[in-house]
Amino acid sequence: MFDKLKQRAQHLKAETYALYLAARHPQTPWYARLLAAAVAAYLFSPIDLIPDFIPVLGYLDDLILVPLGIALAIRLIPAPVMAECRSRARESMGADKPRSGAVMVTIVAIWLLAGALLGKWLYGLLSR
């Protein structure tokens, strides 16, 4: 059962990346681009429409709204474009791709720097 859930999550991740690629594809209509970009941005964003700590409603957007947005966006994108974007997403998400430790260190450093600057700013505000 765990493997099935893991496989489903990987499929959703690939489908989301394919939507992102489709939103940037020149043959995608503007209205499909707008919806695909909105769905992909929402999925990649750490901010939820309904916070997850709210009982039941917190997961409503993750369980109902997101799959509906993905399904609608896929229906609006022409089939050949979506097939090409799915293929590109599978290629770029391959497990045999090397992972860069330098990129990970850079991203962590940026987050730490942003946190330190925010802490310094808040300390300056509170110490007045």
Domain range for 123 is 99-128
* Residues in the chain, pLDDT under 70: 49, 94-100
Q: Are residues 91 and 126 in the same domain?
A: no
Closest CA to 28 of 77, 87, 80: 77
Residue 36 burial (C-beta neighbours within 10 Å; 0-12, 13-18, 19+): buried
Dist CA 91 CA 21 (whole Å):
12
Chain segment 15-47, per-residue pLDDT in tens: 888 888 998 899 999 999 889 888 877 777 777
Instruction: Say what the pLDDT of residue 94 is.
Output: 67
Q: Are residues 43 and 73 in the same domain?
A: yes
Instruction: Say what the pLDDT of residue 93 is.
Output: 77
Dist CA 41 CA 39 (whole Å):
5
Instruction: Say what the pLDDT of residue 19 is.
Output: 86
Q: Are residues 122 and 91 in the same domain?
A: no
Q: What are phi and psi for residue 55, nearest 5 degrees?
A: -55, 140
Q: Are residues 8 and 59 in the same domain?
A: yes
Q: Are residues 87 and 106 in the same domain?
A: no
Q: Are residues 45 and 9 in the same domain?
A: yes
Instruction: Say what the pLDDT of residue 77 is.
Output: 93
Instruction: Say what the pLDDT of residue 117 is.
Output: 92
- What is the H or E stretch that residue 46 is in? none
